[in-house]
Each structure stands twice: as C-alpha cells, then as structure tokens.
Amino acid sequence: MLPKDLTELDLLLDDTFLQYIRRNDEAAVEKWETYIALHPEIQEKVAASIALYYNINTGEAATDKAIQLTRLQQAVKATAPAQVRGIRWQSYVWRAAAAVFLLAGLTLLWKKRQPNTPPVTFLVYSSDWGQRKMLTLPDGSAVILNANTTVRIPSDYGNKHRHVELVKGAALFDVTGNTDDPFVVTSKQIQTTVLGTSFLVKSYPYEPQSTVSLLSGKVRVSENSGNTNALTLAPGEQARWNETAQEMTRQSFDTIAVHTWKTGKLVFNNASANEVVAQLENWYGIPFEIKGNLSNAKRFSGAFDNDKLEKVLNIFCFTAGCNFHIQPDKVTIQF
C-alpha cells in the first residue's frame, strides 16, 4: 500500500513510477493508474513529476508526453464526481500547465546560468633573478617581466575581459587601447585599471609596499575589494600602497629612470653605495643584506646593458671595496 503523502521527489525516485512514465512495464502502469484513481489528490503531483521528468530528460519523445497526459486526463474524468468533474479537471489542467511552464522556465534559467564552457585555467609566466622576459598578449599588449617576477594570465583572456595578475615582482605593461574593454592588473591588495597606456607595477613579497608608476595615458588604482582609496594617476605620478598601514598615497617619480629600466640599460652616475644597492634590488628582484660600514665606500658610476648580476657586482665591489655572495633568496654584501 502506497503512502498518501508522496512528494514529487518521492515519485521520481521510485523505479516503478519511472516505468509508468516510460510505459515499459505493464505491472507498473497498472499499479500507478490504480493508485491515481484511488487518490485523486495526488494528480497534481503526478502531473508536476511528469513535467519535471521530461524537462530533465529532454531526449524523451514528445508522443510519450502526450500519452501520459491523455491517460492522466482519463483517470481524472473517471474518478471525479459528475457535478464538479469539468471544473476540477479544468483546475488540474491549468495547474499542471503552470507547473510545466514554471519548470521549463527554471530549466532554461539554470542552463543559462550553467553554460557548457570549460573551466578557466591560467597560464603562468616567470623569470628568474637576473633574467628579464618579454610577453606579447593576445590583444597585442606587451609585458616586460623584471627579474624574479611571476604573472598569471587566464586562458580566456580577451574573451570579454583583459585581466592579468602580478603574483610577485615588477612588470612594465604597454597596453593596446580598447575603450570598450579595460585592461586590469591585480597585485597584492591593489588593482590597476587602464584603457591604453604604459605603466610599471612593482610588488615584491619582501617589500612592505606595492607601487604603480605611470609613464603615459591614465590609470585608476584602487584596493582589490573595490574603489576604496582609489587614485587616478597622470603621467609622472606613482601610487604607493603601504601594506602595513593599509593606505595608498600619491607621489612623483623619476620617469627617466623607468624609461631606462624599460630599455634594459642600468646606469649609475656617481651613486652612493646605498643608492646602488637599492637600484640593484629593484632591477634584479632580489633582496640585499648589507654587512659592515658603508661610510667609506667610494661612489660609483657605470652603465650596463642587460648584464648578469654577478658581472655588475664584480665591477661595483672592485670600485666600492666589498665582497658579495649570491644565494637563491638574497645577496649578501660585506664592506
């Protein structure tokens, strides 16, 4: 004996009910026709279950649906009292039709929200310390990766979005203009949005701040969470995000130095030892540890064109009077 409080889910989980829908088992068909005749109050649930079944299993023939609805109509007519038969059947028809349209709408909505597209993967590009790398993105935008730099680019880049993640390091972006499709770079806790411009983003894990330096065009720099503390930069301006203080400030920077960085030429003009070390950290993307007294170190001048760090340090230490040791995660200089 079947319970009277069956739900649509209960029906669809019952193998004999599925056989009744498919009409492929006479015993199951007889069982459910008898049950529906004895319990006319379940007719709405049966209609809704049939509609749901065919919305899920779209490959079923339309004629099968017609057979089920016809047999359901006959069962209702056979069991309904004469004086209300027409009214009740009309009510069931409208309710069943509403259920069909509602379920069909929900199915279409679900399909729209669940497109049959592959998951987004990422292409990861990295440069070792002492090495630079040039990338050309699908839209023609160019990226120069500084030493010790990693970026992630979604596999669907250019498909309604242009989004690049600077995982660590420094990268100069020369962006192809597209007013309908802004170019976005995220790094640590900041986001840079541009339409077409040239700018340098620097964000190393060993430094407490990230910077965005604008060479040309216009960019908006904000926190990744939104437009909080957003700054719109003009050429020659730099946004500096302080991770410790959780605040962003605006300042000017040496555009000539960044343009020189872009060409790959490292130039020192009567620089102090501290200035040399700071520039080498930025250039090669590796932290320096200084030991000893720098006060007696000679000032340094020199020009290098994409030279290895070891060569630069050999020349610098010969002039400044120091020794160096290059390790995987840092460089130690002893004065």
Residue 162: what pLDDT?
92
Q: Which CATH class is domain 122-256?
A: mainly beta
Rounded-to-10 torsion of CA 201, 207, 209, 212: -10
Residue 14 has pLDDT above 70, yes or no: yes
Residue 10 has pLDDT above 80, yes or no: no
**Predicted confidence (pLDDT) per residue in 263-306, tens digit:** 888 888 888 998 899 889 888 888 899 998 887 888 998 888 87
Residue 99 has pLDDT above 90, yes or no: no
Topology adopted by domain 264-334: Phage tail protein beta-alpha-beta fold (3.55.50)
Residue 202 has pLDDT above 70, yes or no: yes
Q: State mean pLDDT over 174-202.
A: 87
**Predicted confidence (pLDDT) per residue in 32-68, tens digit:** 888 888 887 777 778 777 776 666 555 444 455 455 5
Q: What are phi and psi for residue 249, nearest 5 degrees?
A: -130, 160
Distance, CA of 229 to CA of 249 (rounded, Å) = 9
**Which tokens hold the place of 118?**
């592959």
More confident residue, 84 or 302: 302
The structural domains of the chain, with segments of one domain joined by +, span: 8-113, 122-256, 264-334
